[in-house]
Amino acid sequence: MLSHALTHRFRPSFALALALSVALSLAALLASPPADADEAENRCATGSFCVWPEAGFAGEPRELALRTTGIEQCVALETDWEVKSFANNTGHPVTVYQDPQCDEEADFDTHPTGSQTPQAGYVARAIKVWTH
């Protein structure tokens, strides 16, 4: 009978410890950036917008240097391959467009400087760099 009483007394402690362990694990996962985001940041130079042909920053990256990209002008991305992930290290917000002429009838999203997008929801075909 004593062991039965001890078992009931320790169950809440075990459940609490398990819940705490799960909560701490989730907090650690949320606090640290994904490894592929770190990789994208390290592979994209300051002042650049970098694109990859595959999701997860896979494949050979290409870099658009800010000095060669007109501010607030639509810049079509190369059409010989699809852009499926990208990183914005320009120091400016960048709008990424599905349409190569920056037509807002197709999908588009604006990404703040320092952002990494490991999987775009559409193939990126053009960008516009903003001053603010």
Query: What span, in angstroms and rounded, lies between the C-alpha atoms of 110 and 71?
Result: 14
Q: Count of CB atoms within 10 A of residue 126's CB?
A: 20
Tell me which range, 12-16, 21-25, 104-108, is most confidently predicted by mean pLDDT: 104-108
End-to-end CA distance of the chain: 72
Q: What pLDDT digit, counting tens, does each position of 74-132 carry?
A: 999 886 788 999 999 999 999 999 999 999 999 999 999 999 999 999 999 999 999 87
